Amino acid sequence: MQKDSIPLANRLEEVYGTDPSYLGEQHARYTALHSRFVDLYGCQPEFIVRSPGRVNLIGEHIDYMGYGVLPMAIKQDTVIAVARGGDKLRLNNMASAHAEQDFSLDPAQEVDRDNHSWGNYVVCAYKGVHEHLARAGQPAPPLFGLQLLVEGRVPQGSGLSSSAALVCAASLAVLAVHGIAVSKHVHAGLSSSSALVCAGTLAVLAAACLRPPKAEVAQFAAECEKYVGTQSGGMDQAISIMGQAGVAKLISFNPVRAEDVRLPDGAMFVIANSLTVSKKAVSADFQYNMRVTECRLAAVALALACGVSPVEAGQRKLLAEVEEVVAAAAGGDAAAGVDKLLHDGGYFKAELEELLGVPLEQLLNEHQLRCVALAEKSTGLWLQKRARHVFREAARVPQFRAICHAPDLGTEAKLASLGALMDASQASCRDDFVCSSTNLDRLVAACKAAGALGSRLTGAGWGGCTVSLVREADACSFVAAVTHAYYDDPEQCEAAAGEREAHGGSLDHVIFTSRPSSGGAILDIA
């Protein structure tokens, strides 16, 4: 298990590598952030923190069912400058479209799920840090005003996890100022013996705040992001915090941990934005939560169908917890077991209640889900297809890792096998999980026609980006061919012209190569 702590970096190179032109760009960015912070708040930031977005290579919509996933951190990140001051949680954003937002300092405040706003993610993190500190059994930390300035470079609604980058960066920002605030308090010259005991406790707290283990931050950041209303798994926060330059990560859960996966030499991943926004959290009860609900109900229904007692079945919330019994019912193949034990098409309320033996509303409340109304409407809940996707997709993740590390497989064979797994994942996301979209399907088709060895949607889906595996040597011609087929053709993608206009004719931010990058860090460079 990865035990290392959040890095405290003194130089930008430690986070961004040594490429002079990229480093120069980051230097200019940090300088602009620093100077805007001073203009806005009239003081220097105490810290600057950063946390990146991610691209998931394989393992979609299975993290919240207890299965491991295989993402890598990308270089696009969210950066926050922070200092204590004032009597509120005050947020500003470098993007002029985002006005200043003020929130209370009460860690028990509710996140306003009905009004979707970027500030909500910072409030999630603020609450998460306080809850984390309280769980550590320490005295409640002092409440002091915070002033934050955010600059995000992970495109929103793109499936590259801009939300987790913001939650993780904000968590680091709040942790960092708490750590430093407590250490300054400790150093303030306490002298009585009780004060010494107190100072000792605080010193431990200060060290823990400033450099907490990555896994702890990943865990609480995943939990607290749920305050916006999305019942997400922990992949995005885990890779944002635990990402590492040069390696993808196999992220496992309960408890969260990360294992290095070395991608084959000569492999390159190209991210391409379909330019349709994936709005998974705007209507929190829709799409994403609907899938979580379907998977949880499928887990209970499968357990019952396998003869597990109703009480025990009701407690099995994860498909990972029922895989063994389901597989045993079909000669060891859980996906085949699903086909045998559940029917195709939608399950509606009456059937579900009869099957599960409890009012649907009660069950959904127990699982903290609120989509009961949807089960009655339209198409019902599709348990068989969702569960089949989860079991098959979950199996692809260890296969992907095994191929990457196979000592006897040549590069070409590795690339071909990884590509086939990615293609199978896309077909399953499209046909069984139904989380693709017309534009994603078109873009995947354009990527395959341009020579991708494998191509699939990445992240929640319903819009956002694809990730394609290509040979490194072919990356430039691949980008040109996809640009021609998808972005230059207004019938395929209307939005591309607008993107070009807004970015001086360039689509570099829309289709780009990506290498595994470093995870969240606190920068003591303010």
Stated as kind and residue range, the H or E segment containing 250 is strand 248-252
If one asks whether residue 460 binds ligand A2G (CB under 6 A), the answer comes out as yes
DSSP state of 187: T
Calculated CA dihedral for residues 371, 372, 378, 381, nearest 10 degrees: 80
Identify the sign of the CA torsion 411, 513, 162, 436. Answer: negative
If we measure between CA atoms, which residue out of 343, 246, 226 comes closest to residue 289? 226
Is residue 453 within 8 Å of 403, Cβ to Cβ?
no
Find tokens 């979950």 and name the residue.
394
Residue number, 147 or 428, with CB nearest to ligand A2G = 428
Per-residue binding string, ligand A2G, 291-330, x by CB under 6 A, is: ----------------------------------------
d(CA 203, CA 248): 35
Residue number, 56 or 417, with CB nearest to ligand A2G = 56
Per-residue binding string, ligand A2G, 221-250, x by CB under 6 A, is: ----x----x-xx-xx--------------
The least distance separating ligand A2G from the CB of residue 466, rounded to whole angstroms, comes to 14
If one asks whether residue 459 binds ligand A2G (CB under 6 A), the answer comes out as yes
If one asks whether residue 64 binds ligand A2G (CB under 6 A), the answer comes out as yes
Residue number, 132 or 280, with CB nearest to ligand A2G = 280
d(CA 402, CA 114): 43
Q: How many CB atoms lie within 10 A of CB 346?
A: 16
Residue number, 258 or 485, with CB nearest to ligand A2G = 258
Q: Which residues pair with 151 in a beta bridge?
A: 79
Q: What is the largest CA-CA distance in the chain?
A: 76
Is residue 89 within 8 Å of 104, Cβ to Cβ?
yes
Find tokens 């595996």 and name the residue.
469
In this chain, which of 50, 61, 178, 388 binds ligand A2G, going by CB under 6 A?
Answer: 61
If one asks whether residue 63 binds ligand A2G (CB under 6 A), the answer comes out as yes
SS3 223: helix
Residue closest to ligand A2G (Cβ): 232
If one asks whether residue 161 binds ligand A2G (CB under 6 A), the answer comes out as yes
The least distance separating ligand A2G from the CB of residue 504, rounded to whole angstroms, comes to 30
d(CA 229, CA 280): 10
The least distance separating ligand A2G from the CB of residue 254, rounded to whole angstroms, comes to 14
Residues sharing a CB contact under 8 Å with residue 350, sequence separation 6 or more, in sequence order: none
Residue number, 284 or 493, with CB nearest to ligand A2G = 284
Task: Give the total of residues touching ligand A2G (CB under 6 A).
Answer: 17
The 3-state DSSP composition of the chain as helix, strand, coil percent (nearest 5) reads 50, 15, 35
The least distance separating ligand A2G from the CB of residue 336, rounded to whole angstroms, comes to 23
Q: Taking contact as CB under 6 A, which single stretch among the options 57-65, 112-120, 384-392, 464-472 is the one that binds ligand A2G?
A: 57-65
What is the pairing mode between strands 89-93 and 248-252? Answer: unpaired
Q: Taking contact as CB under 6 A, which single stretch among the options 58-66, 110-118, 125-133, 205-213 is the one that binds ligand A2G?
A: 58-66
In this chain, which of 60, 151, 285, 294 binds ligand A2G, going by CB under 6 A?
Answer: 60
Which residues are the active-site residues? Answer: 236
If one asks whether residue 163 binds ligand A2G (CB under 6 A), the answer comes out as yes
Residue number, 178 or 396, with CB nearest to ligand A2G = 396
Site for ligand A2G in 259-288 (CB under 6 A): 280
The least distance separating ligand A2G from the CB of residue 415, rounded to whole angstroms, comes to 23
Is residue 143 within 8 Å of 84, Cβ to Cβ?
no
Instruction: Name the burial class of residue 495, with classes exposed (0-12), middle (13-18) and buried (19+) by CB atoms within 10 angstroms of its CB.
Output: middle
> Where on the chain is the footprint of ligand A2G (CB under 6 A)?
56, 60-61, 63-64, 161, 163-164, 225, 230, 232-233, 235-236, 280, 459-460
